[in-house]
Amino acid sequence: MSIIFLLIGFSVTVAGCFLGAFLWAVKSGQFDDDYTPAVRMLFDNESSGKKQAEPKK
C-alpha cells in the first residue's frame, strides 16, 4: 500500500505544475482582458501580402 505515498506525491506534483502554469498565465496578463481576445480571433487575416500584425505580447 506504500504505492499510495508515491501516487499522491505524483498527483500533487502534477497538480503543482498546473498551478505553476496558471500563475504564469496570470502574471503574463492573460487574465487581464477576457473579452477582446475572443473578438480578435474572429478577424480574418488579409492576404494582401502586407505585414501581418505582430504577435501580441
C-beta of 54: minimal distance to other proteins in Å? 5
d(CA 38, CA 6): 41
Q: Please, what is the minimum distance in Å from the beta carbon of residue 28 to other proteins? A: 10
Instruction: Summarize as ranges the residues that interact with other proteins (CB under 8 A).
Output: 1, 4-5, 8, 11-12, 15-16, 18-19, 22-23, 26-27, 29, 31-33, 35-36, 39-40, 42-44, 46, 48, 50-51, 53-54, 56-57
What residues contact 41, with CB distance under 8 A and at least 6 apart? none
